[in-house]
Amino acid sequence: MKIFADENMPLVREFFADVGEVTLFNGRTATASELAEADILLVRSVTQVDEPLLAKNTRLRFVGTATIGMDHIDLAYLGKRNIAFSSAPGCNAQSVVEYVLSSLWCLAERYQWQLSNKTVGIVGVGSIGSRLAAALTAMQIPVLLCDPLRAEQQSDFVHTDFTSLCQQADIISFHTPLVKAGSYPTKHLLNSECLARLKPSCAVINASRGAVIDNAALLAAQQIQRRPLVLDVWEQEPDILLPLLPYCDIATAHIAGHSVEGKARGTEMLYQRCCQLLGIAPTVTLSQLLPVPAVEKLQISANFGLPDVQSVARMLYDVQRDDALFRHHIEGKGFDWLRKSYPARREFSALQLVGQATPAWLGQLGFNSQ
Ligand SMILES: NC(=O)C1=CN([C@@H]2O[C@H](COP(=O)(O)OP(=O)(O)OC[C@H]3O[C@@H](n4cnc5c(N)ncnc54)[C@H](O)[C@@H]3O)[C@@H](O)[C@H]2O)C=CC1
Ligand SMILES: O=C(O)C(=O)[C@H](O)COP(=O)(O)O
């Protein structure tokens, strides 16, 4: 069995050693000839999997993407060729939530906000959006939720339509897939018209897909009146609209989901799916492979409260580190270098908070407490 995997997929050899022979490739530059012999193709978000890429391969049985997003996969074409497919739903949802929380804490410090006085509009309330809503609610921060598809399916879902959310939110955070057609497209969901509807001070956070915001319209709006802005994703990565950078409070290279756990879970999910497809029993689990975190346990007292969470979270992750890396290296080394050389970052759950009375809401933020 020949397995071809993106070179930026962690632990792929460890997981797949017993399944077949693993060959690594550059996901950004992969060609049809390079992948012609693959039985199993494992990609990340940077590889367009479509007819031109698979035209020379007649033996492919399975394509897996170790990501949540699937906008780089031509599902109709895979279906036509009868090639099985899997993504890794939810694999790095917690990582994205931690990125957004860290961004909110950073903006709150910079602009001296009391976050509990701000209403956060969450657009797209699936794995990431709903976890984020739970975390913010635990922190007593009001939220508005916008997800028309959920509203259609779930009568008890409290939906705020996008136009009203734009008018009411103090902070708006995008967590939709990139959808180009259908009843609820998200391409350029935030366009010049919607930007004009936002409160002038409304902060914008995008850690979904770059094209959910019209980047040229965003730049034009920022040049007229600057609002707080956090961008993890950009249109046309890796050749992004660099003039936007001075107008960002936080700018990063599509790494919101790049926690150690988030990336590794993606690989594990594809491994499990492959084993199922091939009828073999999985022998490797993520817990066997994850490195021991630098700090494993922290004793907290009965005085531990909401204001202390930020200090503990900062031990594990501060988005300002990634923003500094981005500003320093983007012009010299580029977008993909920043992603490839991303420093290890553990999720909140890697740190066990122990104490007599650990508050229940710590779990809502993703901490491991007992
Ligand atoms: N920056 C990063 O590193 C990462 C980015 N992502 C992006 O985040 C997206 C969301 O991830 P999940 O929450 O796990 O996906 P999900 O599929 O669990 O949830 C997405 C939600 O968006 C909703 N939605 C779709 N169209 C909408 C619209 N027009 N308006 C409002 N809501 C809409 C869907 O109904 C669904 O509930 C992914 O598709 C991916 O593109 C995901 C992981 C990491
Ligand atoms: O899961 C997704 O969707 C993402 O956007 C990933 O976190 C991005 O990871 P790469 O595949 O671009 O490394």
Q: State the CATH architecture for 292-369.
A: 2-Layer Sandwich (3.30)
pLDDT digits (tens, 9 = 90+) for 273-294: 999 999 999 999 999 999 999 9
pLDDT digits (tens, 9 = 90+) for 289-316: 999 999 999 999 999 999 999 999 999 9
Cα angle at 213 between 212 and 218, to 5 degrees?
A: 175
| Domain ranges, ordered by start, for the chain | 2-87, 93-251, 292-369
Distance, CA 306 to ligand 2 centroid (Å)? 30
Query: Both tokens of residue 151?
Result: 């509203």
Between CA 82 and CA 59 the distance in angstroms is 11
The answer to whether 298 and 351 have CB atoms below 8 angstroms apart is yes
Distance, CA 263 to ligand 2 centroid (Å)? 8
Q: DSSP for 171-239?
A: EEEE------SSSS--TTSB-HHHHHHS-TT-EEEE-S-GGGB-HHHHHHHHHHS---EEES--TTTTS
Between CA 113 and CA 116 the distance in angstroms is 9
Active-site annotation, residues: 209, 237, 254
Is this prediction's ipTM beyond 0.95? yes
The reply to whether 2-87 and 93-251 are identical in fold is yes
pLDDT digits (tens, 9 = 90+) for 58-113: 999 999 999 999 999 999 999 999 999 999 999 999 999 999 999 999 999 999 99
pLDDT of residue 357: 82
Distance, CA 129 to ligand 1 centroid (Å)? 8
> For the sheet containing 352-354, what is the strand order?
297-299, 352-354, 368-369
The phi and psi torsions of 258 (rounded to 5 degrees) equal -90, 35
Ligand 2 touching residue 65 (CB < 6 A): no
User: Check: CATH 2.30.40.10 for 2-87?
Assistant: no
Predicted confidence (pLDDT) at residue 370 exceeds the cutoff of 80: no
- Cβ count within 10 A of residue 328: 11
Ligand 2 touching residue 44 (CB < 6 A): yes
pLDDT of residue 358: 87
Mutate to test the pocket of ligand 1, among 100, 150, 175, 206 (most ligand atoms within 8 A of CB): 175
Taking the complete model, does pTM exceed 0.90, yes or no?
A: yes
Ligand 1 touching residue 173 (CB < 6 A): no
In the numeric block, the tokens 């997800």 are attached to 147
Query: Which ligand 2 atom lies nearest to the CA of residue 91?
Result: 1
Three-class SS of residue 100? helix
Q: Which fold has domain 93-251?
A: Rossmann fold (3.40.50)
